[in-house]
Amino acid sequence: MGAELFLHNSQSSALGQLITIACLTDKTERVSGRVLDCYALVWVTQGRGRVSLGGGGWHPVETLDAFLLQPGQDHAYGPLPGQRWNELYVLFTGEVFELWRGQGLFDLERPCIRLAPEADWMQRFRGIHPDWTPLEQVCAWQQLLARAYRAPQRVEEDWLQPAQNLLARWRKESDAEQRVARELGMSYQSFRKQFRKRVGQPPGKFRRQLLLEEAARRLLTESISIKALAEELGFCDEYYFTRRFTEQHGIAPVAYRKRLQC
C-alpha cells in the first residue's frame, strides 16, 4: 500500500484544526471496530467496498463516494474481499465542526456523498496549502465541506421494491424487518425511517398487512382453525390475531369466513 501526504498540521486555531490530508493507494485491508477522537472524511477515488457506521448495517461504497466518520463513533470500512481501493482521507477537529454537527449540516441520513469529477475535487483538496495559517486552513476546509454536502449525488438504485419483495418473502419471520435492512446494507433505524417516509407506514405494519391478506385468502380456501392459522402466521395468540384482522378487514375472521362462504 502506498501513501502520499498532502498536509499535516500540529497547530490548532480558535475554530478548530485541519490535521491531515493524505492519499492511500492499493489498500486491501478493512478497518474494523475503530473509534477516532476526531472527524475523518474518506473519499474513495478508485475501487468499491462498504462502510458500517455506529454499529449499523453495511452501506455500499462506489468509486468517488465519500463518507464521514465522527468522533467516538464505532466504524468499519474497506474494499470488497479480494479487491483493493485508493482513498483520500482528511482528519479534522474543533468546536466549529461540533457546531456543524449540532446544526445538522452533516447529512447523517445519507452515509455516502459523491464527489465528482475526480480531477476537480482532487485539485480542491490539494488547494489547501500547508503554508497557510491554521485558521486559513480551517476556513478553507469548511468551504470545501460546504461544497461537498451540496454536490449533486448519484441516483441510488431504488431499494423500495426489493424491500417490499423481501418483506413478502419473509413475512412469517419475526426479524424480517431487520433482515431486510441488512440485505439492503442499511441500518435498521434508517431503513425504518425511509420506508415509512416512502410508503406512509413502518415496515412492520406493512408486513403485518401482508400476513392478514394471506389470512383472509386461507380462511376461504382452507379448513384450518383460527387458532392454528394465527400461530402459523406468527401472531402471539388467537385474540391478538382476531383484533388485528378485524382492524384491517372490518370484520372478525370467524364472521368473515361464514359470510363469504354462504
Over the stretch 3-31, which tens digit does the pLDDT of each residue have? Answer: 999 999 999 999 999 999 999 999 998 88
Does 200 lie in the same domain as 118?
Answer: no
pLDDT at residue number 262: 54
Q: What is the pTM of this model?
A: 0.61
Q: Count of domains in the chain?
A: 2
Does 138 lie in the same domain as 191?
Answer: no
Locate 121 and state its grid cell.
475535487
Instruction: Give DSSP secondary structure letters for 96-124.
Output: HHHHHHHTT-S-TTSSEEE--SHHHHHHH
By CB atoms closer than 10 A (0-12, 13-18, 19+), residue 133 is exposed
pLDDT at residue number 187: 78
pLDDT at residue number 21: 97
226 neighbors 186 (Cβ within 8 angstroms): no
Q: What is each CA distance from 52 to 69, 205, 256, in whole angstroms?
A: 10, 27, 47
Model pLDDT for residues 116-164, shown as the tens digit of each residue: 889 999 999 999 999 999 999 999 999 999 999 886 655 455 678 888 9
Q: Which residue has the cell 394471506?
A: 214
190 neighbors 213 (Cβ within 8 angstroms): no
Domain stop point among 94, 115, 148: 148
CATH no. for residue 88? Answer: 2.60.120.280
User: Does the residue 153 lie in any domain?
Assistant: no
Q: Which residue has the cell 407506514?
A: 201
Domain stop point among 87, 115, 148: 148
* Number of other CB atoms surrounding residue 253 within 10 Å: 21
Beta bridge partner(s), residue 68 = 41
Does 16 lie in the same domain as 120?
Answer: yes
Does 103 lie in the same domain as 20?
Answer: yes
Does 124 lie in the same domain as 164?
Answer: no
pLDDT at residue number 155: 46
Does 80 lie in the same domain as 14?
Answer: yes
CA–CA dist 146, 44 (Å, integer): 19
Residues of the chain where predicted confidence (pLDDT) is lower than 50: 155
User: Does the residue 154 lie in any domain?
Assistant: no
* Number of other CB atoms surrounding residue 175 within 10 Å: 11
pLDDT at residue number 60: 85
Does 118 lie in the same domain as 57?
Answer: yes
Q: Which residue has the cell 375472521?
A: 253
User: Does the residue 43 lie in any domain?
Assistant: yes
Q: How many residues does the chain have?
A: 262
Domain stop point among 121, 148, 175: 148
Does 210 lie in the same domain as 129?
Answer: no
- The DSSP element (H or E) to which 209 belongs, if any, is helix 203-221
* Contacts of residue 13, Cβ cutoff 8 Å, sequence gap at least 6: 94, 133, 134, 135, 137, 138
Does 106 lie in the same domain as 46?
Answer: yes
Does 165 lie in the same domain as 144?
Answer: no
Domain residue limits at 202: 160-261
CA–CA dist 101, 79 (Å, integer): 27
